[in-house]
């Protein structure tokens, strides 16, 4: 362990900054003047530094103002101590006083513990704890999920974790294991944030991940654009998923979850607590069905029988069956997430309403973005003066 006085360690070390939630948390903390260090891996074409630069430049373009550049710590959670180089580890020990562990794999299924979601979520969390320990960091903030409650029904409190519940998929099980590990092996101060299902930005509809709500929209969109059915039906898709109209799902907009976490990591009174970052007014399946119906009718292009990309009936059967299998566990009724700590600490940050209009805005964004496949505009280079834009490009 490297021993440096805590008062000199002003940086917050964040994992998962390149993801949807992480990029919003980074924006909010940079705006608050919080010095940041980001553990980021490269991808096949882009270095960790270039990935971070792109995200910050996109926010600068959106906000029309310059932001300080975070320190980049190249690292991959699947490697021991996250594969952080000795010189970077020395830097982390000198400058970082706290960790926000937000990175995770969102793969739903996988029984091999050497593969996702276990590799990043459980082994990866052990590696982040190791990194914190080696660097002498004793304040740990952990992004979990409200669905560590698994298939529980009724009221779920923020204090409860393992109560003998069954889980709906490997992702939930891996996140429950990770949270348990953080609580038992983490440093003195552990704060846990449990969002429910994160959807897009409440103002712009922007998102980069397309699970849950977006998977149903995508299914409706795909049926309309690739199979000449003439029309499709949101309510019918939900009924195929076995989702009764009166059941509810708990969606939260990414900008609100990020603002709550950014406030939590900067608020000493939040330390040691667990927060259900969930919506006080969940959305009914009937509303979801109506949104999917209206979104695909208004924003998707219907398939024409002469379209060479049209799919045959076999494709339809195979793909629909596969999608339904993955998402059936997801579209079960949610329990009631108790928000005592959240209401107390984040009362000045009310969660925006998620009504038909705001969900439709998110559906429109997803369809026009072709569910992440549409080319994104390059953010302006550093020397140019950023002008406000409508949505980040990162
Ligand atoms: N999305 C939801 O509905 C939801 C709901 C509740 C809780 N959460 C939790 O919120 C957190 C953020 O989720 P998100 O929706 O923002 O997901 P996301 O967009 O998929 O981002 C995941 C982030 O984790 C990073 N990561 C994954 N494996 C890694 C590894 N082995 N090494 C380094 N980095 C790795 C990714 O880096 P790369 O860019 O390099 O892949 C990315 O930055 C997660 O802890 C998730 O469990 C999400």
**Chain mean pLDDT for the chain:** 89
Q: Is the dihedral of CA 285, 160, 20, 118 positive or negative?
A: negative
DSSP three-state, residue 190: strand
DSSP three-state, residue 214: helix
- Choices 3.40.50.2020, 3.40.50.720, 1.10.287.3510, 3.40.50.10490: CATH for 6-195: 3.40.50.720
Q: Which of 34-43, 80-89, 170-179, 330-339 has the lowest mean pLDDT?
A: 330-339
Return the pLDDT at 297: 82
Q: In 3D, which of 98, 91, 64 has the Cα closest to residue 266? A: 98
241 CA → ligand 1 middle, Å: 26
Q: Which token pair is 358?
A: 């705001």
- DSSP string covering 332-394: SPP-EE--HHHHHHSTTSPPPP--HHHHHHHHHHHHHTGGGTSPPPPPPPTTSPP---SS---
Q: Which atom of ligand 1 is nearest to the CA of 76?
A: 32
Question: Integer distance in angstroms from the first to the last C-alpha of the chain?
Answer: 35
Return the pLDDT at 393: 34
Q: Which of 47-56, 133-142, 244-253, 351-360 has the lowest mean pLDDT?
A: 244-253
261 CA → ligand 1 middle, Å: 15
Return the domain boundaries, the chain: 6-195, 199-251+281-333+352-376+390-394
Query: What pTM, to 2 d.p., does this model score?
Result: 0.91
Q: Which helix (H) or strand (E) holds 179?
A: helix 170-185
Give the residue whose CA is nearest to atom 13 of ligand 1.
Answer: 21
pLDDT for 237-290, tens place per residue?
A: 777 667 788 889 999 999 999 999 999 999 999 999 999 999 999 999 889 888
Share of the chain above pLDDT 90, in %: 69
Ligand 1 lined by 204 (C-beta under 6 Å): no
Please state, in angstroms and rounded to a whole number, the distance separating the CA atoms of residues 384 and 174.
44
pLDDT for 97-115, tens place per residue?
A: 999 999 999 998 898 999 9
**Residue that is written with structure tokens 């045959």 in the block:** 312
Instruction: Note if the bond before 117 is cis, omega within 30 degrees.
Output: yes
Ligand 1 lined by 97 (C-beta under 6 Å): no
Q: Which token pair is 283?
A: 């959305």
């Amino acid at each position: 362990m490297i021993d440096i006085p805590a008062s000199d360690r002003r940086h917050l070390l964040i994992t998962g900054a390149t993801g949807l939630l992480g990029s919003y948390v980074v924006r909010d903390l940079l705006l608050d003047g919080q010095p940041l260090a980001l553990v980021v891996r490269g991808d096949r074409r882009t270095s960790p530094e270039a990935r971070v630069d792109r995200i910050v430049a996109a926010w600068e373009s959106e906000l029309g103002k310059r932001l300080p550049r975070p320190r980049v710590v190249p690292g991959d959670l699947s490697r021991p101590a996250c594969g952080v180089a000795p010189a970077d580890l020395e830097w982390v020990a000198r400058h970082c006083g706290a960790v926000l562990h937000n990175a995770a794999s969102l793969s739903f299924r996988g029984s091999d513990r050497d593969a996702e979601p276990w590799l990043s979520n459980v082994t990866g969390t052990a590696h982040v704890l190791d990194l914190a320990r080696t660097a002498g960091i004793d304040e740990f903030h952990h992004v979990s999920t409200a669905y560590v409650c698994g298939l529980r029904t009724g009221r779920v409190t923020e204090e409860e974790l393992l109560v003998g519940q069954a889980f709906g998929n490997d992702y939930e099980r891996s996140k429950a294991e990770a949270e348990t590990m953080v609580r038992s092996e983490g440093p003195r101060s552990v704060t846990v944030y449990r969002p429910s299902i994160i959807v897009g930005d409440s103002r712009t509809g922007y998102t980069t991940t397309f699970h849950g709500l977006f998977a149903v929209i995508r299914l409706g969109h795909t049926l309309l654009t690739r199979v000449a059915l003439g029309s499709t039906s949101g309510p019918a898709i939900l009924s195929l998923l076995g989702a009764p109209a009166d059941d509810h799902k708990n969606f939260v907009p990414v900008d609100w979850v990020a603002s709550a976490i950014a406030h939590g990591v900067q608020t000493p009174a939040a330390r040691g607590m667990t927060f259900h970052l969930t919506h006080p007014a969940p959305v009914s399946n009937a509303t979801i069905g109506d949104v999917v119906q209206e979104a695909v009718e208004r924003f998707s292009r219907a398939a024409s029988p002469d379209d060479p990309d049209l799919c045959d009936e076999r494709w339809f059967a195979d793909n629909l069956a596969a999608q339904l299998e993955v998402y059936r566990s997801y579209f079960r009724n949610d329990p009631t997430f108790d928000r005592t700590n959240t209401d107390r600490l984040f009362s000045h940050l009310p969660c925006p309403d998620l009504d038909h209009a705001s969900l439709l805005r998110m559906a429109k964004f997803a369809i026009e973005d072709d569910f992440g496949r549409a080319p994104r505009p390059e953010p302006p280079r550093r020397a140019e003066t950023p002008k406000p834009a409508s949505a980040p490009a990162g």
